[in-house]
């Protein structure tokens, strides 16, 4: 027997819905069938978007990943696996905070709140946020479990590690690096005094023994890590990688997110967003295509709107899918106070509340 639920909606809304259902060719069909069709269509759009980004990534990065991996190999063999950061089973789990560089972090003074708190858990910072995090007083002197992560292939990443403040605290920071980062990134991280821990970024392991992940996994093994090194889901970006690392490798629980907006603040104009991507500003803002590619969404948990472009939709869809799937390992609390991460299985609260609860 099929379990049924009923909801109360106003007659006005019902009439609007009924019209859309009839106009979609579902006049004689059940409501479940129509809604299922909508959800299938949305799912297909997500899959289409994911495939387009996968193709772009292969074209843009794949050769670099192979090249970088080859150049890193000796350092990987002689280096440390990220698995060494995993605490013993008997150790008590500590909370973690993943820090991204989304606009909410400035808007709500999250770094200042954290710097002035008594939080005693782990800090997992994305590379692009590191300089500002340290400058705001969140340093490994105060926060002993301090980590930073880089997965990106772009040569420009090394700039994120070039600020003198990073060298000042480098020897107290643990840096997780993907095996595919450029050698220049490895060199600057090493030069800053950070301890380096390697991990693989997963993308094609499902293709079996001929996959890059499989081959590079086997090649990375050495007497220092005979069974290999960990592989993580990236969700397409370093913020999601930091979140996966926080609970899968560092075993933090719960994990709070700040600066993980994966969207633009509502006050960012479309012109600025288009300029950012070098896109021609010739789309009508009220067209259906525009609304699909650049939707403005309402975040009911933080009572705010945010704007998305295709890339943020791609990132956001993935993280929103993975947070509930990881619930058996970790309780994730989005304390970003804005952005696009909300929905089924995602708990949201103000960062001040998070700090009060877990400090």
Partner 1 sequence: MIKGNFKIKKIDAKDDEQKKLEEIIAKSGAGSHMVFRSDNEDDELFMEEL
**Residues in the site for partner 1, rule: CB under 8 A?**
48-50, 52-61, 81, 83, 151-153, 200-206, 213, 217, 220, 225, 227-238, 241, 244, 248-249, 277, 279, 283, 288-289, 292-293, 309-311, 314-315, 318, 322, 325-326, 329
Quick one: how far is CA 34 from the chain centroid?
Answer: 32
Sign for the CA dihedral angle at 329, 335, 339, 344 comes to positive
Cβ distance to partner 1 smaller for residue 39 or 329: 329
Nearer to partner 1, 108 or 243 (CB): 243
The residue among 54 and 265 lying less far from partner 1, judged by its C-beta, is: 54
| Neighbour count for residue 158 (Cβ, 10 Å) | 20
Which one, 48 or 162, has the nearer CB to partner 1? Answer: 48
Minimum Å gap between C-beta 18 and partner 1 is 22
CA angle, residues 66, 71, 74, in degrees to nearest 5: 120
CB of 227 closer than 8 Å to CB of 310: no
Q: CA-to-CA distance for 336 and 108, rounded, in angstroms? A: 9
User: Pairing relation of β-strands 174-178 and 195-201?
Assistant: parallel
Query: Cα separations (Å) of 91 from 61, 115, 145, 338?
Result: 39, 26, 14, 34
User: With respect to partner 1, which residue has the nearer C-beta, 128 or 334?
Assistant: 128
Residue 45 CB, shortest distance to partner 1, in Å, is 8
Secondary element (H or E) of residue 29: none
Q: Smallest gap, in angstroms, from Cβ of residue 213 to partner 1?
A: 7
Q: How far is the CB of 70 from partner 1 (least distance, A)?
A: 17
Q: Which is nearer to partner 1, 234 or 299 (CB)?
A: 234
Residue with Cβ nearer partner 1 (224 or 350): 224
**β strands within 10-155, DSSP E:** 80-81, 96-99, 122-126, 145-150
In the bound complex, what is the minimum distance in angstroms from residue 12's beta carbon to partner 1?
A: 29
Shortest Å, Cβ 226 to partner 1 = 9
Angle subtended at Cα 260 by Cα 80 and Cα 247, rounded to the nearest 5 degrees: 40
Distance of alpha carbon 114 from alpha carbon 133, whole angstroms: 10
Phi and psi at residue 120, in whole multiples of 5°? -120, 15
CA gap 290, 295 in Å, rounded:
7
Least distance between partner 1 and beta carbon 259 (Å): 16
């Amino acid at each position: 027997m099929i379990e049924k639920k009923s909801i109360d909606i106003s007659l006005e809304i019902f009439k609007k819905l009924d019209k859309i259902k009839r106009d979609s060719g579902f006049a004689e069909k059940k409501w479940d069938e129509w809604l299922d069709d909508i959800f299938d269509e949305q799912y297909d759009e997500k899959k289409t978007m994911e495939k387009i980004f996968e193709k772009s990534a292969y074209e843009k990065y794949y050769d670099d990943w192979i090249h970088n991996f080859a150049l890193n190999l000796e350092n990987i063999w002689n280096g440390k696996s990220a698995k060494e950061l995993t605490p013993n089973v008997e150790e008590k789990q500590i909370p973690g905070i993943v820090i991204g560089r989304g606009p909410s972090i400035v808007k709500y003074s999250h770094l200042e709140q954290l710097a002035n708190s008594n939080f005693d858990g782990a800090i997992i910072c994305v590379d692009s946020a590191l300089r500002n995090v340290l400058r705001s007083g969140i340093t490994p002197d105060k926060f002993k479990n301090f980590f930073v992560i880089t997965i990106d292939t772009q040569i420009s990443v090394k700039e994120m590690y070039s600020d003198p403040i990073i060298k000042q605290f480098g020897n107290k920071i643990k840096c997780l690096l993907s095996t595919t980062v450029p050698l220049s990134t490895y060199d600057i991280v090493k030069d800053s005094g950070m301890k380096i821990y390697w991990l693989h970024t997963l993308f094609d392991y499902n293709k079996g023994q001929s996959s890059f992940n499989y081959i590079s996994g086997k090649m990375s093994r050495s007497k220092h890590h005979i069974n290999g090194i960990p592989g993580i889901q990236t969700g397409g970006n370093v913020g999601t990688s930091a979140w996966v690392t926080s609970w899968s490798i560092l075993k933090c629980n719960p994990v709070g997110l700040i600066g993980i907006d994966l969207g633009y603040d509502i006050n960012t104009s479309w012109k600025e967003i288009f300029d950012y991507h070098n896109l021609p500003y010739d789309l009508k803002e009220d067209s259906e295509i525009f609304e699909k590619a650049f939707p403005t969404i309402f975040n009911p948990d933080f009572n705010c709107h945010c704007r998305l472009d295709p890339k943020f939709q791609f990132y956001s869809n993935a993280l929103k899918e993975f947070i509930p799937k990881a619930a058996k390992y970790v309780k994730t609390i989005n304390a970003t106070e804005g952005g696009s991460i909300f929905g089924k299985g995602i708990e949201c609260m103000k960062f001040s509340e998070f700090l009060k609860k877990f400090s």
